[in-house]
Structure 1
């Protein structure tokens, strides 16, 4: 029997055959060696049976396949014929490989995995949260563990992953069966507002992206504004899509509906770049007429003139922490949470 594909096999011998006891141990996925113990064969024999090699007799193959099915054992199809059987394969799901936020994150995961002798398979939901469950189900059958940047609710995520360690990015995991690496976005946005107030700004707006399901930015913005004695009217927070176009449209709306606005905090650097371009099209000086602050710390912000002030994240470090959490889960430890602290990176735009 299995519980979410998690097993340990204990073997004891008696006259006339073997008796196999299954002991359920949380956070330990069935391995090739578990199947070998249950079937009473070597792990090399299991490998030959799983890969349908001709040199194994039919009865042994049947016994091995029955044991594999009983234990819910899923070999990595990526590993077959490519690497040695014991190589660990990590599936990585990101939201959009074109978004300049993700390449550094991907690099951090790959570098940390390679130091452990692991391989990484990268997939993208292509800006479509509806694809996430299918990707999780697919990688759960192919990889030993999954690291993912997801937007679906926790119950959808949990249902799509069966017996495979999962680490989610930019999300808390209280009471969940998966590990997590989160960002203290609220603290970052608070730092941005404090910086703008210290520079003399009293009319500050925000370009938000509610579809990203990350309310920490808005919460931090409103909390710090209130703490600084600022009044933020409803029209000073504009919801947009997470893109350059969205950032530009959001800024134009903010500028039109909020006379006297002198500063803008954007959801992320991509949105901030769109706002920056729109401000320039409107003939505004940055930062003289309008200050702009982003969030993420993308290198592309340095190419602007003046460069973009932003809340910077160590994205490679996020990838490293995700791999470290994955390693703990594979070792049978309970799910943990790592939190990345952002820092204010003052450049020329604010």
Structure 2
């Protein structure tokens, strides 16, 4: 695994030519012999050098392209996140290419890497594999802290966001907490939801696991109350499950929020469509997109990169509506 990105200076030194000659060879310019061009390009391949296309295009004032990798558009959160990136990149006059990893991460990565100047998103590959795959292309992982030079990240501060939420719920009168967790949580670092919730509650709380769906949320609220009818506050793994929990409570004849408070995680605008309107811990899609764009802007402006990686954090915040 490379400890740093290969530079044009490295290529020039290894090929025994000047940096200007490397530039001419890479851009297929005149004033360079065929033999020298071939030697330089062979060195480029051997070292895994990737020209900073983003910086080149920036200097030419041409439109830049950023790839976004998400799980699936069937999850409303990913659709909302993609919309946030569209808005952020339009503001900067950058283009966005979106791909989902439903048919395999390697396939979408391979197709996207040839089209864009940088990639942002949910990437499960190990970082040494990422470095080998993208060969110097700027990469920003979402919800994963990057530890490899040349790979960057935007994290969610789950611990603080959930602790603030639990504190506010206690102030509203919540005393007996429970959670509807996901039976098969997606990867991408989402597991801390339950861990930090239990830490913030500070005492044993009832947890059931269900499918990530409206039906799963409805099953979850029923199973929780069968285990402990005294529960007065429920956190669901995501907003879809929380909306199902609200529906399930209605079916059971339980008033929300008078008898039981229900909170989701995502901050979907879709939460406005249920009755009562859904309170949710928002993952702040616009802020995530903005922080990712700021990292890219710093990278391509030649700004400092501590330890080879840049990391920014976004704290989830509660969108208070009627369900809690």
TM-score normalized by the length of structure 2: 0.79
Q: Offset at 1:181?
A: 0.9
1:251 maps onto 2:221 in alignment: yes
How far apart, in 2, do the equivalents of 1:163 and 1:263 lie? 47
SS at match of 1:223: helix
Q: Match of 2:7? A: 7
Which residues in structure 2 correspond to 1:1-350 (within 5 Å)?
6-9=6-9, 20-21=17-18, 36-38=23-25, 43=27, 45=28, 67-68=40-41, 70-72=43-45, 87-126=63-102, 131-175=104-148, 177-209=150-182, 211-212=185-186, 213-226=189-202, 230-232=203-205, 236-332=206-302, 333-334=304-305, 335-350=309-324
Question: Unaligned regions of 5+ residues in structure 1, if any?
Answer: 13-17, 23-32, 47-55, 77-83
Q: More helix by proportion, 1 or 2?
A: 2
Q: Secondary structure at the match of 1:137?
A: helix
Secondary structure of 1:193's counterpart equals helix
State the secondary structure of the residue aligned to 1:311: strand
TM superposition shift of 1:175: 4.7
Question: Which of 182-191 and 135-144 deviates more?
Answer: 135-144
Whether the aligned pair in 2 keeps the contact of 1:261 and 1:290 (CA below 8 Å) is: yes
Secondary structure, aligned partner of 1:347: coil
Return the alpha-carbon distance in structure 2 between the equivalents of residues 218 and 4 of structure 1: 36
Instruction: Report the Cα offset of residue 265 of structure 1.
Output: 0.7
Aligned residues: 304
Q: Kindly provide the CA deviation profile for residues 4-35 of structure 1, in whole angstroms up to 9, marking residues without a partner as x.
A: 873315999xxxxx95156xxxxxxxxxx875
Unaligned runs of 5+ in 2: 53-59
Are 1:297 and 1:313, in contact at CA under 8 Å, matched by a contact in 2? yes
What does the per-residue CA deviation read over 1:194-223, in whole Å, with 9 as the maximum and x for residues that have no partner?
Answer: 233223332211112352242321122111
TM-score by length of 1: 0.74
SS in 2 for 1:20: coil
Would the aligned equivalents of 2:238 and 2:266 in 1 still touch at CA under 8 Å? yes
Change beyond 3 A, Cα 1:198–1:171: same
Which string of whole-angstrom CA distances, capped at 9 and with x for unpartnered residues, describes residues 252-278 of structure 1?
322222232221011221221122222
Measured after TM superposition, the shift of residue 153 of structure 1 is: 4.8
CA–CA separation in structure 2 for the residues paired with 1:65 and 1:242: 54
Alpha-carbon deviation of 1:85?
9.9
Q: Residues 61, 242 of structure 1: CA spacing in aligned structure 2 closer, same or farther, 3 A cutoff? A: farther
* Alpha-carbon separation, structure 1, partners of 2:126 and 2:215: 27
Instruction: Tell me, in whole angstroms, the C-alpha distance in 2 between the residues paired with 1:260 and 1:314.
Output: 32
1: CA distance, partners of 2:180 / 2:132: 33
Cα pair distance change 1:63/1:103, threshold 3 Å: farther
* Partner-residue secondary structure (3-state), 1:101: helix
